């Protein structure tokens, strides 16, 4: 891939949609994570203290992790459509495949 502006070959993929998606997903996942933590804590509370903590932790991790993964998937189609897919490292021009 070569920059259409300055001809440099020093071009990188931006993955902006993926980054924004996974960020937004992580936030949304955080909400799920709190619910997951609550549900996990309730399930875990059959074993007092340790079960509550472990259950809450597992619920939180599953919620936050799946949110980020789903967000990244949702954001991926935006790359190359809504957002320019490539960025020139020499002149900072952003562009898509010709």
* Using rule CB under 5 A, residue 8 touches Zn ion: yes
Q: Which residue, 9 or 82, has its beta carbon nearer to Zn ion?
A: 9
CB of 84 to Zn ion, least distance (A): 12
* Using rule CB under 5 A, residue 27 touches Zn ion: no
* Using rule CB under 5 A, residue 2 touches Zn ion: no
Q: Which of 5, 31, 35, 81 binds Zn ion (CB under 5 A)?
A: 5
Residues paired with 11 in a beta bridge: 88
* Using rule CB under 5 A, residue 31 touches Zn ion: no
* Using rule CB under 5 A, residue 88 touches Zn ion: yes
Q: How far apart are CA 42 and CA 46, in angstroms?
A: 8
DSSP secondary structure string, 40-82?
HHHHHTTSTTHHHHHHHHHHHHHHHHHHHHHHHHHHGGGBTTT
């Amino acid at each position: 891939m070569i920059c259409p502006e300055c001809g440099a070959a020093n071009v990188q993929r931006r993955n902006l949609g993926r980054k924004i998606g996974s960020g937004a997903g992580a936030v949304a996942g955080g909400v799920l994570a709190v619910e997951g933590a609550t549900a996990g804590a309730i399930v875990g509370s059959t074993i007092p203290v340790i079960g509550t903590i472990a259950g809450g932790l597992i619920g939180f991790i599953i919620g936050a992790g799946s949110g980020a993964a789903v967000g990244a998937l949702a954001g991926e189609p935006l790359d190359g459509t809504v957002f320019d897919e490539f960025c020139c490292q020499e002149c900072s021009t952003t562009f898509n495949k010709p």
